[in-house]
Chain A
Amino acid sequence: MAHTLLVVDDSASMRQMVTFTLKDAGYEVIAAAHGKEALAKLDGTRVSMVITDLNMPEMDGIELIRQLRSRPGCRFIPIVMLTTESQEAKKQAGRQAGASGWIVKPFNPDQLVETVRKFVK
Chain B
Amino acid sequence: MGMAETHREAFRDEALELLSELESALLELEYRPDEQELIGRTFRAMHTIKGSGGMFGFTEISDFTHEVETVFDLVRSGAVAVDKELIDLTLRSCDLIRAMLEGDGSADAETRRKLTALFRDIARPGEPASLPSEDSAPATEGGSAAGGDVERVYRIRFIPSRDILKTGTDPALLLDELRQLGSCTVIAHPERIPRLDELEPEDCHTFWDVLLTTNRGINAIRDVFIFVEDDGELHIDVLDTHVSLSEGSTGKKLGEILVERGDLSSEDIHKALSFQRRLGELLVEKGMASPAQVESALVEQRHVREVQQRRQSNEAAASIRVSSERLDKLVNLVGELVTVQARLSMTADHRCDPQLTLLAEEVERLTAELRDSTLTLRMMPIGGCFSRFTRLVRDLSGELGKNVELVTCGGETELDKTVLERLNDPLVHIIRNSIDHGIETPDVRLAGGKPAQGTVRLTAEHSGDSVTITIEDDGAGLDGDAIRAKAVDRGLLNPSAASCDKELFSLIFAPGFSTAKTVTGVSGRGVGMDVVKRAIDSLRGSIDISSRRGIGTVITIRLPLTLAIIETLLVKAAGESYVMPLSLVEECIELNRVDAVPSSGNRLVNVRGGIVPYVSLRDSFNLGGAAPDIEQIVITNLSGNRFGIVVDSVVGEHQTVIKTLGRVYRNVEGISGATILGDGDIALILDIPALMGGTGPQ
Residues of A within 8 A of B (CB): 10-14, 16-17, 20, 49, 55-57, 69, 75-79, 82, 84-86, 95, 98-108, 110-111, 114-115, 118-119, 121
Q: Are A101 and B226 in contact (CB under 8 A)?
A: yes
Interchain CB contact (< 8 A) of A108 among B43, B47, B55, B177:
B55
Q: Are A55 and B44 in contact (CB under 8 A)?
A: yes
Q: Are A77 and B168 in contact (CB under 8 A)?
A: yes
Q: How distant is the Cα of A104 from the Cα of B140 in the complex, in angstroms?
A: 12
Is B136 part of the binding interface, using a Cβ–Cβ cutoff of 8 Å? yes
Interchain CB contact (< 8 A) of A84 among B14, B40, B47, B174:
B47
Q: How distant is the Cα of A119 from the Cα of B577 in the complex, in angstroms?
A: 84
Q: Is the interface of A mostly helix, strand, loop or mixed?
A: mixed
Q: How distant is the Cα of A101 from the Cα of B230 in the complex, in angstroms?
A: 11
Q: Are B73 and A111 in contact (CB under 8 A)?
A: no
Residues of B within 8 A of A (CB): 3, 7, 10-11, 13-15, 40-41, 43-44, 47-48, 50-56, 62, 66, 69-70, 73, 133, 135-139, 165-170, 173-174, 177, 202, 224, 226-227, 231
Shortest Cβ-Cβ A-B pairs, 8 listed: A106-B54, A105-B51, A101-B227, A78-B168, A100-B168, A106-B55, A13-B11, A11-B48
**Residues in B neighbouring A76, C-beta threshold 8 A:** 165-166, 168, 202
Q: Are A13 and B169 in contact (CB under 8 A)?
A: no
Q: Is the interface of B mostly helix, strand, loop or mixed?
A: helix
Q: Are A17 and B227 in contact (CB under 8 A)?
A: no
Q: How distant is the Cα of A102 from the Cα of B167 in the complex, in angstroms?
A: 12
Q: Are B173 and A104 in contact (CB under 8 A)?
A: no
A to B CB contacts below 8 Å, 18 in the list = A14-B52, A55-B40, A55-B47, A76-B168, A84-B51, A85-B135, A85-B136, A95-B167, A98-B166, A101-B138, A101-B227, A106-B51, A106-B53, A106-B135, A107-B137, A108-B137, A115-B139, A119-B169
Interchain CB contact (< 8 A) of B7 among A13, A77, A84:
A13
Q: How distant is the Cα of A105 from the Cα of B70 in the complex, in angstroms?
A: 15
User: Which of B73, B133, B137, B224 counts the most A-chain CB atoms under 10 A from its CB?
Assistant: B137
Q: Are A104 and B136 in contact (CB under 8 A)?
A: yes
Interchain CB contact (< 8 A) of A104 among B43, B138, B177:
B138
Interchain CB contact (< 8 A) of B62 among A79, A101, A106:
A106
**Residues in A neighbouring B48, C-beta threshold 8 A:** 10-11, 14, 55
Q: How distant is the Cα of A46 from the Cα of B23 in the complex, in angstroms?
A: 40
**Residues in B neighbouring A12, C-beta threshold 8 A:** 10, 14
Q: Are B166 and A102 in contact (CB under 8 A)?
A: no
CB of A118, distance to nearest CB on chain B (Å) = 6
Q: Are A103 and B10 in contact (CB under 8 A)?
A: no
Q: How distant is the Cα of A20 from the Cα of B10 in the complex, in angstroms?
A: 12
- Using A17-B56, A104-B137 as known contacts, list a sample of 4 further A-B pairs with CB atoms less than 8 Å apart, ordered by residue number in A: A11-B51, A13-B52, A103-B138, A114-B139
| Smallest Cβ-Cβ distance to A82: which chain B residue | B51
**Residues in B neighbouring A82, C-beta threshold 8 A:** 51
Q: How distant is the Cα of A86 from the Cα of B96 in the complex, in angstroms?
A: 22
Q: Are B70 and A11 in contact (CB under 8 A)?
A: no
**Residues in B neighbouring A20, C-beta threshold 8 A:** 3, 7
**Residues in B neighbouring A98, C-beta threshold 8 A:** 166-168
Q: How distant is the Cα of A77 from the Cα of B10 in the complex, in angstroms?
A: 30
Q: Are A78 and B54 in contact (CB under 8 A)?
A: no
Q: Are B56 and A103 in contact (CB under 8 A)?
A: no
Q: Are B167 and A55 in contact (CB under 8 A)?
A: no
CB of B644, distance to nearest CB on chain A (Å) = 86
Known contacts: A78-B169, A79-B168, A101-B226. The answer to whether A17 contacts B55 by CB under 8 A is: yes
**Residues in B neighbouring A16, C-beta threshold 8 A:** 7, 10
Interchain CB contact (< 8 A) of B167 among A56, A100, A104:
A100
**Residues in B neighbouring A10, C-beta threshold 8 A:** 44, 48
Interchain CB contact (< 8 A) of A13 among B14, B135, B137:
B14
| Smallest Cβ-Cβ distance to B66: which chain A residue | A86
Q: How distant is the Cα of A85 from the Cα of B166 in the complex, in angstroms?
A: 25
CB of A88, distance to nearest CB on chain B (Å) = 11
**Residues in A neighbouring B52, C-beta threshold 8 A:** 11, 13-14, 17, 105-106
CB of A73, distance to nearest CB on chain B (Å) = 12
Known contacts: A11-B51, A76-B165. The answer to whether A115 contacts B10 by CB under 8 A is: no
**Residues in A neighbouring B54, C-beta threshold 8 A:** 105-106
User: Which of A77, A85, A98 counts the most B-chain CB atoms under 10 A from its CB?
Assistant: A85
**Residues in B neighbouring A107, C-beta threshold 8 A:** 55, 137
Q: Are B138 and A115 in contact (CB under 8 A)?
A: yes
Q: Are B44 and A85 in contact (CB under 8 A)?
A: no
**Residues in B neighbouring A106, C-beta threshold 8 A:** 51-55, 62, 135
**Residues in A neighbouring B13, C-beta threshold 8 A:** 13
Q: Are A55 and B43 in contact (CB under 8 A)?
A: yes
CB of A97, distance to nearest CB on chain B (Å) = 9
Q: How distant is the Cα of A115 from the Cα of B52 in the complex, in angstroms?
A: 18
Q: How distant is the Cα of A46 from the Cα of B226 in the complex, in angstroms?
A: 27
CB of A12, distance to nearest CB on chain B (Å) = 5
User: Which of B41, B54, B62, B177 counts the most A-chain CB atoms under 10 A from its CB?
Assistant: B54
Q: Are A118 and B166 in contact (CB under 8 A)?
A: no
